[in-house]
Amino acid sequence: MPTRLSGMRFDSAGMQVLSREQCLFLLAHSAIGRVVFTDQALPAVQPVTFCLDGANIVMRTTAGSRLAVGTRDNVVAFEADDFDVALSAGWSVSAVGHARAAADPEEITRLGRLPLKIWTPGVSGHFIVMTTDRISGRRIPVPAL
């Protein structure tokens, strides 16, 4: 059962429970995440570059890729995190939502202007938009010295 201290909530393991707003803030300042989808009836995880468009997660790939096919009009999960091993501190945010391919030409043009870095050669203008219907996060606080 979460406990409170100075307006913060902590779970039973002592990790800070993050609000939806805190989760979206952390995602907005991240560039790499992992999307979980179904590929040939099996779970698949793929690292992706992404950015937020409001509360939606936007990814870019090629139209026929495994990622594009596996996320098309499906419920998917997403996770991003950051850890500092030296400090034994970090955070993790997970989201579940519906993914769809952007099809409207005006939306595709708008999404193309987002600050979405592409690291994979050959990636085209196929955008996957994922809602963040359920989002949760935890932060491992920096230990007191």
- Which tokens go with 139? 């932060």
Question: Please, how many CA atoms are within 13 Å of residue 110, restricted to the half-sphere of its CB?
Answer: 11
Q: The tokens 């955008």 sit on which residue?
A: 127
pLDDT for the residue numbered 1: 42
Residue 26, helix vs strand vs coil: helix
3-136 domain in CATH 2.30.110.10? Answer: yes
- What is the per-residue pLDDT across 16-29, written as a single tens digit (0 to 9) for each? 999 999 999 999 99
In order along the chain (145 residues), what is the average pLDDT of each group of 10 residues?
Answer: 61 87 96 94 95 96 90 96 90 98 95 87 84 96 68
